[in-house]
Structures are given as structure tokens and as C-alpha cells.
Amino acid sequence: MLKRVPHCAIILLTAGGLAACGETASLQVADGSGPAPQLPAPNKTLLPTVNIAPAIGWPEGGKPVAAPGTQVAAFAEGLDHPRWLYVLPNGDVLVAESNTPAKENTGGVRDWIARKIMSRAGAGVPSANRITLLRDADRDGVAETRSVLLENLNSPFGMTLVGNTLYVADTDRLLGFPYESGQTRISRPPAVITDLPGGELNHHWTKNVIASLDGSKLYVTVGSNSNVGENGMDQEQGRAAIWEVDRASGQKRLFASGLRNPNGMDWEPVTGKLWTAVNERDEIGSDLVPDYVTSVQDGGFYGWPYSYYGQHVDERVQPQDPQKVASALVPDYAVGPHTASLGLVFADGKTLAAPFDQGMFIGQHGSWNRKPHSGYKVVFIPFKAGKPAGQPVDVLSGFLDKDEKALGRPVGVVNDQRGGLLVADDVGNRIWRVTSAR
């Protein structure tokens, strides 16, 4: 049994609302980025750092700031908490309009505080539980039609098409729906491919899915049920992991573990390796621990909860497991502490011109527990010969205004096959499209 630790949602309340508390970063976000991030000593304070950027949405005509040589415009507006994106072979864009699963209100202080934090950060809305299809038939960069492809789901997130089956990762099951090209609504019931860890606690609820390059396997991300195992390791069975699912039989096995909260996944085009974006642990300071992107080794263990960034032991976790720590792999590339890096897609060589033609795009949802804020942008990591080769470069920024309020929060990112990068913004309720400037 692991020692219980203070919950990250403990906060101070003032007459004005939620007050920022905790400590302030001593390093820059860039110091915690790259292949060899700085990892200072843990800074555990009496109260965890809480620094929420209140969500206010975009003003009329507002939009993010695009990198030089690029431009951005709204592909679709008026969505309901759009989180994840998938582009079908015919160019139709699927959007998972989704949020935290509804659960029974226990009336406890932690539940109440968690709801307050979610509401202030823009995530306090009920889940729409649907997949919406957006179509840009005239190819002008704006979706002129939308339809509900699937509804009455359970906090859907990841999507992938293999043959005539559209796979959707609900929060507790992997589903397979029959699909025909051009279809705008699916009414036939799904096949349940496999159950996924869910339940009443279900701390990290998002589940992503990607198909192997030959389509025979499906890979599914499952986040942890806690920060560092404080709810007991019996609540972590099958979690903090990526599962490999045999598409034909539905049988699954652990592909990689020790990944606190993996989300985005994609195949690196040179080496063919699977990469994922992982959100690391909290409550040991604004500078720890950097989120990261990494190639994923079959059978690899990445440290959680016993250690971070390889074999840096987290002393809060008791009892420790020295054997597990000794086997912990060092991630390939840090993307800054508490940036909440979720979306991940490799450039396809056709979407944006150099310097954004070889590398990885990352959607950084943004921190709620770092002073000053980190994330709230889309960044690009250049690659060479299948490996990261440089510091992150901003692609979209300006999601925070001058008063540090959140105009938007980027999540999923995907190439649209027509020269654009699509970005889901779950506070702005829009899909942004980034293209090379003309």
C-alpha cells in the first residue's frame, strides 16, 4: 500500500474566489525542455501550487497568434468542448465533443474542490458524449456542414478507422462501429472490442486509440488513477499504460507501463516507432516534473509511480520498488513542466512549409498548477533521422490574454490531408486550421 499524499486539488478560498497558492518556479519552461531537461530538487510545500487561468473564451474576431510564415483561421466554431480529432480518408473531420464522465456526487470536500477547479479552468461542463462530423466539401478551409455521426457515448476520446470499422475509445470500452465512406451518421450498434479500466474513480478518463501501420493491432492509452499512487495500487490495475489489442480477437496485452498519463500517439515516419505524449506527476514544485514525448518500447517501463524521468526516485511513494526503478527508461524528450501536453502528430511533409515540415506538433493544454503558467500553445519539435533535433518552436500562441485568462486551450492536433494543421480548442469551442502563409 502506498503512502497517501495531499491531493493536488487542495486550495485556498478567498472572497474573490480561488486563490493562487504554493511556490513560484525558479527555472524557465525552456530549462525543462529538450533531451536533457534540468531536474532540480523536489520542492514540496505545505500547500500544492494552484494557479488556474480562468477560462473566458475568445472575443469576437479573436484568434491565436500564428508563427511567422503561417496563418490561422477557424475551421469550425460553436462546438461543445471539442477534445480530439481524426481525419477520415475522404477528408471528413471527426471531433470528439467530450468531457469528464458524470459520476455520483459524494459530497466530499475533494469532490467539491475538484469541481471548482474544473469549472474555473473551463472543464466544468457536462460531456456532450458525441462524435461530430465536419465536412469542407468546397475545400475553402471552413467546414460548411456538420452532422452527429455518433451520440450517447461515454466520454469518447480517441478514434481510428481500419477498413470498414471505426474504432472509438470510450472512457471504459473500446468500441467498433461499421462505417462506409461518406457516411454522416452511424445508427447501427457497435461491437465491444474490449473493456478498459474505468469505474467510479477513473481519475484520468481520456483513452486514446491508434492502429498499427498494417492495421492488425490497436494501441490504447490508459492514464493513472492518481498522482503518485495515493489511492492504493489496487486502483491502478491496468492503468498508467499503453495496451496492445489484437484487432481480430480483442485480446490485449500490456505494451508499455509506468506512463502516468499518456495521451497523443503517432508513428514516427522514418523509424516506424510509436511515440506518445505523457503528462507527469504533480505536487513537488513548479519545475517538476516535465511532461514528455517519447518513443515507446515494447515491454518498456517508464518509472511511474516509483521514479520520474528515468530513475529519479519519488520519495513520497512508499514502499519503493528498487527493481522497478532500476528498469525505468529515460524518456526521449521533455516538453516543459506541467504543460499538459496532450495532442501529438508528426508532420506529413505536406502540411506546412519548412521549418515545420519534419518533426512533431504538440498540443499543450496548459498548466493549472505552475507559477507562472506553462503550455497554452501548440509547439513543433524538429526531427532529423527519426530523432528530436532542436528546441520546441511555437506554432500557435496567444491562448492567454494579458491578464493571464484563458481565451482557449489547445488539445488534439492532426494533419487534414489538404495542407492544414487542425487544432481542437476545448475552451474556445473551435477547431483552428493552421496553413502556410500565402
Q: Which domains does the chain have, with CATH numbers?
A: 12-436 (2.120.10.30)
* Confidence class for position 119, pLDDT limits 50, 70, 90: low
Grid coordinates given for 114: 475538484
Contact 362, 413 (CB under 8 A): yes
The whole-model pTM stands at 0.94
Q: What confidence category does residue 8 fall into, taking pLDDT thresholds of 50, 70 and 90? A: very low
Would the CA dihedral through 414, 388, 277, 369 be positive or negative? negative
Distance between CA 322 and CA 307 in Å, rounded?
10
Least confident segment among 69-83, 293-307, 345-359: 345-359
Query: Cell numbers of 185, please?
Result: 451518421
Q: Report pLDDT digits (tens) over 229-240.
A: 999 999 999 999
pLDDT band at 121 (very low <50, low <70, confident <90, very high): low
* Residues 62/74, Cβ–Cβ less than 8 Å: no
Q: What percent of the chain has pLDDT over 90?
A: 87
pLDDT of residue 22: 73
Per cent of the chain over pLDDT 70 is 90
105-113 contact pairs (CB < 8 A, 24+) = 110/7, 110/9, 113/7, 113/9, 113/10, 113/11
Q: Using the predicted structure, report yes or no on whether residue 150 has a pLDDT greater than 70.
A: yes
The alpha helices in 148-232, defined as continuous H runs, are none
* 238 conformational bin, left if phi > 0, alpha if psi -120 to 50, beta if neither: left
